[in-house]
């Protein structure tokens, strides 16, 4: 479906990283892009550079989302915002559980609930959900993150069922390690995160994910790119551990 079939887009987590690059790309394609994030100053800068419509909104505030979407027909929804906290279920605290559920899956569900009916009515729309390889592979740590991203993975498939018979396309992007600020927020130190997670590694860049999203949206209208798993060449998920105990 060519970009010319669409008029408006909404991108969450738009102030930096993948979200900001996606806003730039969609704006260049001629869409009116509504950029949603909490950082008003970064959004204002993005608006000056791209012409997007900035919305300084916390996506966990469902009432604010509902008000924002009043009167806006969104043709392309990019659910990009996400948070992570270190630790598994044995070490997680209440905040880690509640925050990740609120941002990574609850907000996604509400946005789809608010936007998809209009897409169905217009017989036109594309939903892009950014999940993670953590949605489909199990590895140590970040248990709540795995659980919430797995929910996004299942939701993405279910939305195709819910939109059956209408020209609604749903794409799930499952990235491996991408150079964004997520690890910096996790550690509370951007420079330490860069040294630990990025220096010396060939990680993905936000532009790589934006390329994939552009490809999926620009595909012919009879083509639904449902699932794209994108990893750095040197990152491989998998492996097997087998604990040996004498007792």
Q: For residue 32, what are the β-bridge partners? A: 8
Is 198 one of the annotated active-site residues of the chain?
A: no
Could you give the CA distance from residue 23 to residue 60 in angstroms, rounded to a whole number?
20
* Catalytic option among 6, 145, 164, 197: 145
Q: What is the 3-state secondary structure (H, E, C) of the chain?
A: CCHHHCCEEEEECCCCHHHHHHHHHHHHCCCEEEEEECCHHHHHHHHHHHCCEEEECCCCCHHHHHHHHCCCCCCEEEECCCCCCCCCCCCCCHHHHHHHHHHHHHHHHHHHHHHHHHHHHHCCEEEEEECCHHHCCCCCCCHHHHHHHHHHHHHHHHHHHHCCCCCEEEEEEEECCECCCHHHHHHCCHHHHHHHHHCCCCCECHHHHHHHHHHHHHCCCCCCCCEEEECCCCCCCCCCCCCCCCC
Which residue numbers are catalytic? 145
């Amino acid at each position: 479906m060519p970009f010319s079939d669409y008029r408006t887009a909404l991108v969450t987590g738009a102030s930096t990283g993948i979200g900001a690059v996606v806003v730039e790309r969609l704006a260049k394609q001629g869409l009116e892009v509504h950029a949603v994030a909490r950082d008003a100053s970064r959004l204002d800068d993005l608006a000056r550079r791209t012409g997007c419509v900035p919305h300084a909104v916390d996506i966990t505030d469902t009432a604010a989302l509902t008000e924002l979407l009043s009167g806006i027909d969104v043709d392309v929804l990019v659910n990009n915002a996400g948070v992570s906290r270190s630790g598994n279920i044995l070490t997680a605290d209440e905040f880690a559980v509640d925050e990740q559920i609120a941002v990574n899956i609850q907000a996604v569900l509400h946005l789809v609930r608010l936007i998809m009916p209009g897409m169905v009515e217009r017989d036109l729309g594309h939903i892009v959900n950014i999940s993670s390889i953590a949605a489909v592979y199990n590895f140590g740590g970040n248990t709540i993150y795995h659980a919430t991203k797995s929910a996004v993975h299942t939701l993405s498939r279910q939305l195709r069922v819910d939109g059956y018979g209408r020209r609604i396309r749903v794409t799930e992007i499952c990235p491996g390690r991408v150079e964004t600020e997520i690890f910096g927020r996790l550690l509370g130190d951007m420079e330490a995160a860069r040294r630990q997670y990025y220096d010396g590694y060939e990680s993905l860049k936000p532009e790589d994910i934006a390329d994939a999203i552009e490809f999926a949206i620009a595909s012919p209208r009879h083509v639904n790119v449902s699932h794209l798993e994108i990893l750095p060449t040197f990152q491989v998920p998998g492996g097997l551990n087998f604990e040996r105990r004498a007792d």
